[in-house]
Amino acid sequence: MITAEALTKRYGTKVAVDAIDFTVRPGQVTGFLGPNGAGKSTTMRMIVGLDRPSAGRVEVNGRPYREHRAPLREVGVLLDARAAHPGRSAYKHLLAIAATHRIGASRVREVIGLAGLDLVAGKRVGGFSLGMGQRLGIATALLGDPATVILDEPVNGLDPEGVRWVRTLIRGLAAEGRTVLLSSHLMSEMAQTADRLIVIGRGRILADDPVEDVVAGATRSLVRVRTRETGRLPALLAGPDVVVTVRSDGAVEVSGLTAEQVADAASAAGIVLHELATVTGSLEDAYLALTAGDVEYRSSQSVGTGDHR
């Protein structure tokens, strides 16, 4: 378990993390989301003792990270997949780290197999692709068979088979009762993997809820209808809290009513419906809505329209 209370980090006058409270519980995957500059990396670094909080505290499995006598057996961390000596082989890299905790060579070989690195275990890390480096970083995080796992962008650089492997691995770790904190910018992957989300923006918690609650709270559901009577249906459904839009493809979108209410009204008026579906917002929609006012680096929407002389 990871618990933070009034966790704060300042760099001079800049507040990177602003007195946040959260709990990451065992037995589920907690997604950690936020725009660049939101404070995610700083928070994760404070969790594992790489940065010291300016105020507040954060504990892993009941105590600060630095107080654990065998931290690799408590917390497995992937923050930077490139954090390996390029001249060492994957096997020697893992063996050196294992030696700090008296972890045997059999466990090293086990995590190499788990990460799918058997064929490259003897090759130098400096020649690894980004995806192979990610696999090595995950193997390193799992070396001590930890109760808590923190992974930052673990699918970066992986092919589809690798992405599926990471997803299955993470879900399996949570099913075993471990605490899993997962940070990623891939909303589609987070939607398939996470049970709960912590969303941070400008150092503050914007949401801390189950995935479905975050999506429902930040987006609106629509009822999509197809009928030949696009002239009658909007007038029939109109009301003070109802918005009806006829799309260019002929579909009718209704907000403010449920699918059952639309069906009942159409049936009573003798209108035949050829399609009736409730369309919910996506996690990406919810994330963009939540963080709209907290993006530190915003791209211009126009290209090639200025005078570049």
**251: nearest Cα among 286, 283, 277:** 277
**107: nearest Cα among 77, 144, 73, 137:** 144
The predicted-structure confidence for 175-225, as pLDDT tens digits, reads as follows 999 999 999 988 989 999 999 999 999 999 999 999 999 988 887 788 999
Q: Do domains 2-61+147-216 and 220-279 have the same CATH topology?
A: no
pTM (two decimals): 0.82
Token look-up 């995590």 returns 111
pLDDT tops 80 at residue 149: yes
User: pLDDT at position 306, please?
Assistant: 47
Q: Which helix (H) or strand (E) holds 198?
A: strand 196-201
Domain 2-61+147-216 has CATH 3.40.50.300: yes
The predicted-structure confidence for 235-290, as pLDDT tens digits, reads as follows 999 889 899 999 999 999 998 999 999 999 999 999 999 999 988 888 998 989 88
pLDDT band with cut points at 50, 70 and 90 for residue 292: confident
Decide which of 38 and 309 is more confident.
Answer: 38
Do residues 219 and 285 lie in contact, with contact meaning Cβ atoms separated by under 8 Å?
yes
Do residues 136 and 111 lie in contact, with contact meaning Cβ atoms separated by under 8 Å?
no
Percentage of residues in the chain having pLDDT higher than 90:
79
Q: Which helix (H) or strand (E) holds 258?
A: none
Do residues 160 and 194 lie in contact, with contact meaning Cβ atoms separated by under 8 Å?
no
pLDDT tops 70 at residue 82: yes
Domain 220-279 has CATH 1.10.3470: no
The predicted-structure confidence for 28-73, as pLDDT tens digits, reads as follows 999 999 998 899 999 999 999 999 999 999 999 999 999 999 999 9
Show me where the domains of the chain are located. 2-61+147-216, 220-279
User: pLDDT at position 281, please?
Assistant: 83
- List the structure tokens of 202: 């400008």
User: pLDDT at position 217, please?
Assistant: 83
pLDDT tops 50 at residue 23: yes
User: pLDDT at position 72, please?
Assistant: 95
End-to-end CA distance of the chain: 56
Q: Which residues of 119-132 are buried (b: 16+ CB within 10 A; e: fewer)?
A: ebbeebbeebeebb
Burial class (CB in 10 A: 0-12, 13-18, 19+), 157: middle
pLDDT band with cut points at 50, 70 and 90 for residue 302: very low
User: pLDDT at position 307, please?
Assistant: 45
Interval 138-145 mean pLDDT: 96
pLDDT band with cut points at 50, 70 and 90 for residue 6: very high
Burial class (CB in 10 A: 0-12, 13-18, 19+), 261: middle
